[in-house]
Every structure is written in C-alpha cells, then in structure tokens.
Amino acid sequence: MPISDRDVVLIDYTISTKAEGKIVETTLEEDAKAAGIYREENVYKPRVIVIGANELPQGFEEALKELDEGAEKTFEIPPEKAFGNREPGKVRVIPAREFSARGIIPRTGLEVEIRGESGDIISVGSGRVIVDFNHPLAGKNILFKVKVLKIFKESDKKVKALFLKWFRNLEEQDVKVSLSDGEALIEVPSQVLLRRDFTLGLSGFTEYIDRYLEDVKKVKLSAIIYERKQEEAAGEERPEEASEEE
C-alpha cells in the first residue's frame, strides 16, 4: 500500500540540482563524501519523516506518496514544488551600517541573518550591501532520489521511530518502547538526560505524538542508570578462578 498522510516512514535520500548535477543534501555518508559536502559533525543515517508535517517541500512529499515500502526511485521536482521560484523582490539593498552595528564585516558570498531573514551577500560597495534572500535552490529543478526503507505500522514502532527522529545520535538498540492501553513507556540510557538538546528534543517529540499518534494517550520516560552485564558464558573460566595446574 502506497504512503499516505500521517504515515511515519524511514527513508534514505539524496537531493541534487538537475542542471549542475550537484548534490546538496543526503542521508548517505558515501554520497556526501563523493560530493565533497561531508561534515564530521553531521549524522548520516536514514531519516524518519511524517507525511503531512511539511518537513519536506510539497513536491517531495507528493513523490513519496507514489511509493511502497522497499521502493527506490528518482523524481524530478520543479521549482514551484521544491524550493520556490526566484523572486527579484527578495534581492535587497541593506546599508552597510546595519552590519557594522551587529559586528559583521560584509563580504561577497557570506551567509547572514538580518532583519529576521537569512540571505547571501552578493555585492558590497559604496556603503551598501546587496543581499539575496531567495533560497539558494530557488528557481532550480531538483532531482530527488529516494528509497523507502520502512513504513511503520504499529504504534509502539511509531513512538520509537519518532523518539529516534528527535535524538538522532542514539542508536536503535539504545531505546526500548512498550505500549499498553494507550500508555507508552520509553527506556533510555541515563546519559540522554544530560544532553544539551534534551529539552528541545523532548518538546519536538511530544508535539509529534500529540499531532500524529492519536491512540497514544500518555508517554512515560524511564532512564536506565544501571544494567548488570550478562554473566559470562557457561564453562568459561574467570581469571581469578583459573586452575593453578598449568
């Protein structure tokens, strides 16, 4: 059955520009390295997406709705359904003093945030700075190569997927989820509570539960502070018990 609104799905994807063939975003480490955009601080792993949450541009979600679990396909997405058409009105002249007041030395190619918007400086001179506030990919046809790895069906699997979505540095084996009578219990290592992004991640996770998992009425989080390791295999001698007859 194809993907539909509110589905929780796990995908790998690579986004590139059609004209230049330039990869601009990917979940695949090998693609990032091949394109020269690899960053050590990034997490390269499949991404959990909720259809209808506007996490991806309109055309990307429409493309996903054509696919079943296990399907892999490359779609061409036009600008109006990708990152928008270029708008001349978004290229603006800003007085250089506004940058000076913020301690910014304007230079061509610098990405800046000013007046609540992000843009790229395209020209500097005569006390004024020209900034392009269009999205860097505006006006471009985009190639969206995607593979649907999993469509989560059971509610407990959805809860776990959404938790891992908001805490991407965790591995699947680090999180245990059980669900009974609409109450989910999530067990995680205690180190999760010490993360700087814990509050932000928990806020995003609970918002998604509230919006997209109506059958989940309550979520409890349990931190595992100690877990005894499994006993050594039967018949395997411990160093202190080793026989002295050697």
**Confidence grade of residue 231 (pLDDT, cut at 50, 70, 90):** low
Question: How does pLDDT run across 91-125, given as a tens digit for each residue?
Answer: 999 999 999 999 999 999 999 998 889 999 999 99
Question: How does pLDDT run across 146-187, given as a tens digit for each residue?
Answer: 999 999 999 999 999 999 999 998 999 999 999 999 999 999
Q: Which domains does the chain have, with CATH numbers?
A: 1-86+138-153 (3.10.50.40), 88-132 (2.40.10.330), 154-241 (3.30.70.2210)
Residue 146 burial (CB < 10 Å; 0-12/13-18/19+)? buried
Residue 239 has pLDDT above 70, yes or no: no
Residue 80 has pLDDT above 50, yes or no: yes
Cα–Cα distance, 50 to 152 (Å, whole number): 10
**183-189 and 218-224 as β-strands: parallel, antiparallel, unpaired?**
parallel
Give Dmax (Cα) for the chain.
90
CA dihedral 230, 231, 237, 242 (to 10 degrees): 110
**Confidence grade of residue 44 (pLDDT, cut at 50, 70, 90):** very high
The set of residues, in sequence order, having a beta carbon less than 8 Å from that of 126 and lying 6+ positions away, is: none
**Confidence grade of residue 241 (pLDDT, cut at 50, 70, 90):** low
What would the mean pLDDT of 9-13 be, rounded to a whole number? 98
DSSP 141: -
CA dihedral 154, 157, 163, 164 (to 10 degrees): -140
Note the pLDDT of residue 246: 46
SS3 assignment for 66-126: CCCCCCEEEEEECHHHCCCCCCHHHEEEEEHHHHHHCCCCCCCCCEEEECCEEEEEEEEEC
Note the pLDDT of residue 236: 55
| pLDDT, averaged across the chain | 92
Closest alpha carbon to 222 in 195, 194, 185: 185
How much of the chain exceeds pLDDT 90, in percent?
Answer: 83
What are the Cα distances from residue 170, in Å, to 68, 191, 227? 27, 10, 18
Note the pLDDT of residue 74: 98
CA dihedral 226, 180, 186, 198 (to 10 degrees): -140
Closest alpha carbon to 213 in 139, 154, 140, 151: 154
Angle at which helices 198-212 and 155-166 cross, to 10°:
150
